[in-house]
Each structure stands twice: as structure tokens, then as C-alpha cells.
């Protein structure tokens, strides 16, 4: 089973400012996100920073999958 992660871009102004994803590892030191989620994060690729949170407990992982 895949392990979900939470992506957050500060400031979190609405509920879509933090979302859960199932990551796919890629080469390099950057993350890739689908273009359709850019508007929710207000991501414009000019040096934006995002936080990646890893839910550890089984309850937190189950909640991230909902």
C-alpha cells in the first residue's frame, strides 16, 4: 500500500491549501505536481516553496486517504 503525503504551501488561506497525495519518486531535488492542482496552491513556479508532511500513524494515513 502506498504511503500518503500532505502538501502545503503557506499561507494556508482555504481548505485546498493543504492536500493529500500518493507520491511517485522522481530524479532530482524537486517535487512535481499535476498542473490541475496549481490554482489551489496558487503555484506559479517562480521559486515557490512547499512543505511536505508525512502522516505517521495509521489513523492519520487513513484520514489522508479520505
pLDDT in tens, 17-66: 899 999 988 999 888 889 999 999 988 888 888 999 999 999 999 999 98
Calpha distance 1→48 (Å, rounded): 30
Q: Are 6 and 66 in contact (CB under 8 A)?
A: no
Nearest alpha-carbon partner for 22 in 9, 6, 37 = 6
| Predicted confidence (pLDDT) at residue 15 exceeds the cutoff of 90 | no
| Predicted confidence (pLDDT) at residue 2 exceeds the cutoff of 90 | no
Calpha distance 66→64 (Å, rounded): 6
The pLDDT value given to residue 20? 95
Question: Residue 52's domain spans which residues?
Answer: 5-65
Task: Give the domain CATH number at 60.
Answer: 2.40.40.20
The pLDDT value given to residue 14? 87
User: Around Cβ 7, how many Cβ atoms within 10 Å?
Assistant: 20
Q: Quickly state the pLDDT bin for 1 (edges 50, 70, 90).
A: low
Count of structural domains, the chain: 1
Amino acid at each position: 500500500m502506498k504511503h500518503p503525503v500532505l502538501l502545503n504551501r503557506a499561507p494556508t488561506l482555504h481548505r485546498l491549501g493543504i492536500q493529500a497525495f500518493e507520491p511517485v519518486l522522481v530524479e532530482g531535488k524537486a517535487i512535481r505536481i499535476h498542473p490541475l492542482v496549481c490554482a489551489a496552491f496558487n503555484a506559479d513556479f517562480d521559486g515557490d516553496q512547499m512543505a511536505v508532511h508525512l502522516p505517521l500513524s495509521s489513523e492519520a494515513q487513513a484520514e489522508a486517504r479520505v
